[in-house]
Amino acid sequence: MRQPRIWTVTVVLMLGLPVGGWAQATAGLSAPPQTFTLEQAIQYAVDHYPTVRAALEQIDVSTAGVSVARAAYLPRLDALWQSNRATANNIFGQVFPQSVIPAMSGPVLPSASGQSVWGSAAGALLSWEPFDFGLREATVTGAEAAVTRARAGEALTRLDVQSAVGAAFLGILAAQRAVAATQADSERRDVLSRAVHALVDNQLRPGAEASRADAERAAAHIRLIQAQQTLTLAQMTISRVLGLTAGHITIDGASLLDQLPALDVNASAATTHPLAQIHQAAVDVARAQEEVLARSDLPRLYLQSSLFARGSGANPNGQLDGSLAGLGLDRANWAAGVQILFPNVFDFSSLRARKAAAAASERAEAALYDEALLTITSQQQAAAAMVQAARAIAANTPVQLAAAQQSEAQARARYQAGLTSITEVADAQSLLAQAEVQDQLARVDVWRALLAEAVAQGDLASFLTIIHSSSGVR
């Protein structure tokens, strides 16, 4: 009796382990659905999208560059300790400056020897540049301009991400409303087709009308499928711009379309736009580089002091001490003075070319800055015109919808009374479907135009304020 029970337990465990592992894997891959309002979606993307994080890190990189440039104002203290075992065969004469042959000190010994002794050295050199004719200041100014450019780049990246998320969110909202409108049109076409088929079957209408009704119904179904496809693609787009790879995303935008927003986006100068600030910072960086080059051919003054000591197991009479002699420090010295470093005299040609290149770079960046101002101003004007047109269209679509609904109802009534053909009803339903879609999208287009205007102004703060007021958030 025990053996069947053992086999039963074994089979249950063998079957249960894979099932449990599959369930855990499925739970790890699936994520709960997430619902976002427009404001929440924008904030989530700003907090999580990779390019925003990369732009923030670039600010840290540029800020560290300012610290490096400011460190040049501090004095420099170099220290060393050296111990070596070597021969002491010195020779009279000199060599050109190089980095291959080790330097030697002391007199020339009477004879060469292969014996070696210990030698040691220790020292410290303090060097400080009290003034430099503005060279370090120009370097710091350039580093600070790079920080400003990085901050403006981060602001522009943030604006691009916010714009993409807002456009994707409104795209889903528009696709949902388009699906609802095409669904209603498809249902009307189904009802009309059934009614026409009933009349044709009873020989009250010609068969051609049934074919026309079927064609209109099929076309409505195709439009519905296309609208659903657009909605699916819009949902994939918002997942990408939010930086999400798993989980279903739903949006909550019903409150945005309850009524048209009464507020407008606050206007701002084109010079405050992040794109303009990036180009202005680029001009400042180029100008700072020109200032650095202008001071590169000036002398540099250093105050220096040194303290050092040497030890050696070799004596001036040629006698070599054995054992550990030379590991200690036998003689100590100090020195203090002023050093003036003159630049390379023959570097004037190269320096002049670099100055000319820096000046040309500054002029090029200034031209790009002017172009950016023109682009921003044009975008602001176009966005203002879009808002005005979108508001006007949204005010007229309800009139168009009401007229189309009345026309469709009258056409159906005339058709049922036998006073007109199926063509008039189909045309009226097409006009109604178009009016429904336009009425649904008109309010979304107002929000799209407001978003485009806020992006053209370079800041979404006023756009988010409009969302608050339209959603009833206080």
For position 246, what pLDDT does the model report? 64
- Quote the DSSP letter at residue 271: G
**β partners of residue 341:** 300
For position 256, what pLDDT does the model report? 82
| Contact call for residues 168 and 241 (beta carbons, < 8 A) | yes
| Contact call for residues 25 and 117 (beta carbons, < 8 A) | no
Report the candidate in 309, 305, 303, 300 with the shortest Cα–Cα distance to residue 78. Answer: 305
Q: Which residues contact 195 (CB under 8 A, 6 or more apart)?
A: 416
Average pLDDT, the chain: 84
Amino acid identity at 263? L
Q: What share of the chain is helix, strand, coil (3-state, %, to 5)?
A: 65, 10, 20
| Contact call for residues 34 and 247 (beta carbons, < 8 A) | yes
Inter-CA distances, 336 with 126, 310, 331, 339, Å: 9, 18, 17, 10
Q: What is the pLDDT of residues 104-131, one digit of tens each?
A: 888 887 777 788 888 899 999 999 988 7
Classify burial at 239, counting beta carbons within 10 Å of its beta carbon; exposed 0-12, middle 13-18, buried 19 or more: middle
For position 24, what pLDDT does the model report? 39
Poorest-confidence range of 11-15, 53-57, 307-311, 419-423? 11-15
pTM value surpassing 0.85:
no
